[in-house]
Amino acid sequence: MKKYIIRRLLALIPTLFVVSIVIFSIIHMTPGDPAAMILGDKASVEDIEALREAMGLNDPLPVQYINWVTGVFHGDLGQSVFIDEPMTQILKEYMAPTFSLTIYAMIISTVLAIPLGVIAAKKRGSFTDQGISFLSMIGISMPSFLLGLLLILGFAVQLRWFPVGGYKTIAKDGLIAHIRYLTLPALALGFMEAALIIRLTRSSVLEVLASDYVKMAKAKGVSEFALIMKHAFKNALIPILTVLGQTFMALLAGAAIVESVFNIPGIGRLTVNSVNRRDYEVIQAVVLMVSLINVVMCLAVDLLYGLVDPRVRLED
């Protein structure tokens, strides 16, 4: 296991190097001078020059890269042109709603999807199975922002059960308001992932059901319910667990768009606003942070997988 962990950790180095190069390049991909792009058409030459100097754009590229990476290692993620706060503070503030939304969506998608997937597998080929499969097919074709808009139209504009958008914190407005404001966004965000989990659960339970040990259990008279819960589901859980890690990341990244639909002040909105204001350093910081969370998450899932399934860590 120790060898496996070390191998995994070493593999991270090149990945992080590529990530850092890509994120560093974002600001240099702008057509023309980034400083001039940030300040707009009306800026004076002196202002542009001053900003260039402040951003370190006058240094040679390798020097800029090294400065940037050194900064990141020291917790300096750059400086927003528009928000006068340290970057880590900005990220912390905007991350809270995003995490709340992601976790809520995660709960919705798993609580809904796993039982549906098991039912579909159990009643394979039946009307119920086809219905569930059809639902998941629709889910896969329904991008979160589309579903979000349709949910607003149905449940907020027509029925008025939920607010059209906005965000309430638990600290100020209580848990009920917090959940009420996040329900539609979480549904919109979680639906597509739920669809994917339904499909995966179904196929992986089916696979286990077809295995010899389940046939054996059936032959010795294990009840249908115990068969599904104790034998099939438990063994099908390993691939499902791996996917949950990926789901969390997909939701976190997807939250960016859903937040814009529902006007939730999370990192997604921060990113979109920063794009419109050409506040490149904020964009870099957000992409960096989300990528790091992703990398750590993947590592955790890999290690967990290695722990659960010895075949994984003994490979190559």
Partner 1 sequence: MTDLNEIRKRLLKEQRQLLVHKFLHNRLAVTGGTITFVMLFLALAAPLLAAQGPLEMVVSDRLSAPSAAHIFGTDTYGRDVFSRILYGARVSMTIGLFVGLITMVAGMCLGLLASWFKTLDEVLMRICDGLNAIPSTLLAIAFMAALGASITNVIVSLSIVSIPRMARIARSAALVVKEQTYIEAIAAAGAGPFHIIFRHIAPNILSPVIVQASYVFANAIITEAALSFLGVGVPVPQPSWGNILYEGKDVIYNAWWMIVYPAVFTALTVFGLNLFGDGLRDLLDPHTS
- Which residues lie near partner 1 (CB under 8 A)? 11, 14-19, 21-23, 26-31, 137-138, 140-143, 145-146, 149-150, 152-153, 157, 164, 249-250, 252-254, 256-257, 260-261, 271-272, 274-276, 278, 280, 283-284, 286-287, 290-291, 294-295, 298
Burial class (CB in 10 A: 0-12, 13-18, 19+), 152: buried
Distance, in Å, from the CA atom of 106 to the CA atom of 99, rounded to the nearest integer, reads 10
266/140 Cα distance (integer angstroms):
24
Q: Which of 229, 225, 231, 224 is nearest to 208 (CA)?
A: 231
**Half-sphere exposure in the Cβ direction for 283 (13 Å, CA):** 17
C-beta of 252: minimal distance to partner 1 in Å? Answer: 7
The token pair at 160 is: 């008025």
Q: Taking the complex as a whole, how short is the minimal distance between the CB of residue 28 and partner 1, in angstroms?
A: 8
Is 144 in contact with 257 (CB distance < 8 Å)?
A: yes
CB of 6 to partner 1, least distance (A): 18
> Measured from the CB of residue 277, what is the shortest distance to partner 1 in angstroms?
10
Nearer to partner 1, 15 or 58 (CB): 15
Smaller CB distance to partner 1: residue 233 or 280? 280
Of 110 and 274, which CB lies nearer to partner 1 in the complex structure? 274
Q: How far is the CB of 251 from partner 1 (least distance, A)?
A: 10
- Comparison of 6 and 18: residue with beta carbon closer to partner 1: 18
C-beta of 48 vs 196, nearer to partner 1:
196
DSSP state of 162: S
In angstroms, give the least distance from the CB of 104 to partner 1. 19
Rounded Cα distance between 113 and 74, Å, is 42
Q: Smallest distance from the beta carbon of 280 to partner 1, in angstroms?
A: 7
Nearest residue (CB) to partner 1, 19 versus 69: 19
Q: What is the C-alpha separation between 150 and 184, in angstroms, rounded? A: 10
Q: Which is nearer to partner 1, 115 or 166 (CB)?
A: 166
Residue showing tokens 């907020």 = 156
CA distances from 263 to 128, 141, 149, 221, 229 (A): 37, 23, 12, 55, 41
Q: Which two tokens stand for residue 235?
A: 């063994």
